[in-house]
Structures are given as C-alpha cells and as structure tokens.
Amino acid sequence: MNVTNTEGIDVAALYRRYAPMVMRRCRELLRNEEAAADAMQETFLKVLRAQHGLRADYPSSLLYRIATNVSLNAMRSVSRRREVDSVEILETLPGADAMETRMLDTMLVEQVFAGVKDSTRRAAEIHYRDGATLEETAENVGMSVSGVRKRLDGLRRQSLTRMAS
C-alpha cells in the first residue's frame, strides 16, 4: 500500500486500514472505551498535523508507537489530575453536612418573617436567637412586655399556619 503522496501521508487511507489496530491498542492500554476512542482520534490527529514531515515506510509501526504514546500520556494525565465530582468536593468540606440544613433553615426563617413588622422581627431575634428574657426584649425594642408577648405569639401562630399549608 502506498501511503505517501506528493502532499505527504494519505491520512484517510491510513485511517481506513489501521483504525481498528489503533483502537485495539488504545483499548488494551486504557481499558476504557471512551478514553480509547479519544486516544485513537488523537493518534490520527497527530498524524494529520505532521503528515508533511512523516515518512510512512512502516505505517503500522508508526501508528502503533503514536497510539501507545498518546494512551500512556492520557493515563499519566488522569493519574496527575484525578477527576473529582464537584458534589464529592462539597461533601468533604468541613461543615458540609450542615450546609443543606443551614440553607433550609435560612429559607424557613425568611418565609416566617415575610410581611412581618421590623419591630416584631427584631423582638423575635432578641428573644429567640439572643436568649433575652421578655423584659429585656421589651426594653431593647421599646415596647411593653405584654406587647412583645402578643407579637411573638402572633408570629408563632402565623408561622404554624404557613408551615401547615
């Protein structure tokens, strides 16, 4: 088979004849069908790019060597750069197990306080989050103790109604 012409190697003729051999070599080394197909394509791309400077006296040996090198480089690349799923990365972060819970809690809190007066929200934050007594809360928001109690009870009933629906 004459694979050399005046313009260089006839890559299409090489592909038709030697693609199965190259694919077998790539499969043998990579043990992954998708990676082997990529390596085979890369092999013929290398030949195509260098077709004017290559001599194809022994085309099967040339392709076998290129396929071997491409496959070995692919194996080295994978071992250096282990492909990690982004979910796997997030799960390994400190506190990742609580991240989803915190996000859901934040959404719930925003839903609870939707449409509530700022003074009611502030009273709830001081009393529930900061742990202040009703008297301390009333003093901080400038309301009476009974007014704070009434607002917090209303907020609690409204929240329960929203969560039930």
d(CA 133, CA 137): 6
Average pLDDT for runs of 10 along the chain of length 165: 57 92 94 93 91 81 92 81 56 60 73 84 88 91 93 86 72
d(CA 87, CA 149): 44
Question: Which DSSP string do the residues of 49-106 spell out, in sequence order?
Answer: HTTTT---SSHHHHHHHHHHHHHHHHHHHHHHS----HHHHHHHSTTHHHHHHHHHHH
Amino acid at 82: R
CATH, range 4-80: 1.10.1740.10
Q: Where in the chain are the domains?
A: 4-80, 95-160
C-alpha neighbours within 13 Å on the C-beta side of residue 137: 24
State the pLDDT at residue 85.
Answer: 54
State the pLDDT at residue 6.
Answer: 46
Query: CATH classification of 95-160, choosing from 3.40.50.620, 1.10.10.10, 2.90.10.10, 3.40.366.10?
Result: 1.10.10.10
